[in-house]
Structure 1
Amino acid sequence: MTQRARLTWNGEAVIRGTHEGAARGLRLGAEHVLQVSRVRVPIEEGTLERSGTATVDESQLTAAVAYDTPYAVRQHEEMDYRHDAGRTAKYLEQPMTTEAATVGRIIAAQLRRSLR
């Protein structure tokens, strides 16, 4: 007995869905890195911590986490500055490294979700 099956490929919808899932995953991943870095950012008045942002360029599928104060880069790079307990230089670089696997899992989860 011969069985037949008909398959309709809706490639445009799949591509659109995966793109949206990837963008959503990038946004959530960037927000995760921002939250982890906020725990480490040097704090005196909280201005540097409040200046942190996470942005996503959905067309290019790129994400950025940044701190925007005149002294953000200096605070990040000066290893000799003394900070409160738990606060440190490299407050963004360290989470970008330590949280890379978590961000990958966040993006993968959103991609899987978009394919349902």
Structure 2
Amino acid sequence: MKKINFRELYPDVYTTDFFVDVTEEVMETIRAAERAETAYERKMYRYKAQYSLDCENGIENAVLLKPQTPEMLLEEKQFQEYIAKCTHRAKPAEKNATYRKPRRVGV
């Protein structure tokens, strides 16, 4: 059995020393977690990462192209049709008719 100090693991909760006996397996798990955290901090420092490498902050989502759902495809198609209608110039009815450019008003 090994003794660990909870004040070292949880300094916000335990302000004084609080020793607990734990098994070798638990102690090894705690040490492995500490080593992983130290390696993570070293990795962030080494690669000058100013953001969390594991955080769900949208960086991963911005890079990945996710497959669109049928609803998204339909909305996109309707939006493109709407834009095409709004920006489409009316074509002249006759071959000889010409399109008149609108005049500027009030300057």
Q: TM-score, normalised by structure 2?
A: 0.28
Q: Which has the higher contact order (CA 8 A, sep 6+)?
A: 1
Larger CA Rg, structure 1 vs 2: 2
Q: TM-score, normalised by structure 1?
A: 0.26
